[in-house]
Structure 1
């Protein structure tokens, strides 16, 4: 009987731990990656590079219509930031189309449709107006 009680108690503990673990929500993350020739840059938690558009200004996105097809606005309501950065460096704007977009130090963040796999930075330098976000040197002066 004592062995049965111990086994039952162990099952209850395992079940409670499983419920507790599944109840925790894992938010998407933003990370800092590094690549030769590019340096450090922000990525989403899938390793996809985050970009900024030099025609934007703090708090304002100018990429609309066909631009957004190639450069989708990046947004997550809740996310985990890199340890090296503070939450105050991130924000949210409402775009002219009424949709939210995440910002870094005021500038809207984008993905690039031409990046097909983690670690791709195919948008770097496109038309000399699209660049990865290097948190150590952003915004460039």
Structure 2
């Protein structure tokens, strides 16, 4: 009986600790657009080339347009991973790197849509 209790306790600990480390997807669909896990609007940049595996938004550009980080999430098509110039991993959608916009201050803001006619909300 004691051995069964120990095995049950170990199994329960494993289940609960695995749940604690479950990864939230870096992006999701909401109201016809893609948003990050906090509900912030996600954008693409026209100067990025789909399926190139690169982002051309670096330095000051990436300060204004922070890349959507992959973290430890496992991605499946149509999502993929881009390795940035600094080695960081960025989420891509249909081969295009994804970004946030620093002027979006709350979930639902879309202040970056059509900035300089090269930044666009990702519609799905």
TM-score, normalising length from structure 1? 0.70
Shift of 1:18: 6.5
Of residues 4, 28, 32, the one that matches 2:29 is 32
Equivalent residues, number = 116
Which sections of structure 1, spanning at least 5 residues, go unmatched? 1-8, 35-39, 82-86, 136-141
The structure with the larger Rg is 1
Question: Matched residue of 2:61: which SS?
Answer: helix
Of residues 91, 105, 112, the one that matches 1:116 is 105
| Distance (Å, rounded) in 1 between the aligned partners of 2:89 and 2:12 | 36
Say if 1:21 and 1:69 are closer, same or farther in 2 by CA, change over 3 A: same
| Distance (Å, rounded) in 2 between the aligned partners of 1:23 and 1:99 | 25
Shift of 1:22: 3.5
**2:39 matched residue in structure 1:** 47
TM-score, normalising length from structure 2? 0.78
Of residues 68, 74, 81, the one that matches 2:68 is 74
Shift of 1:73: 1.0
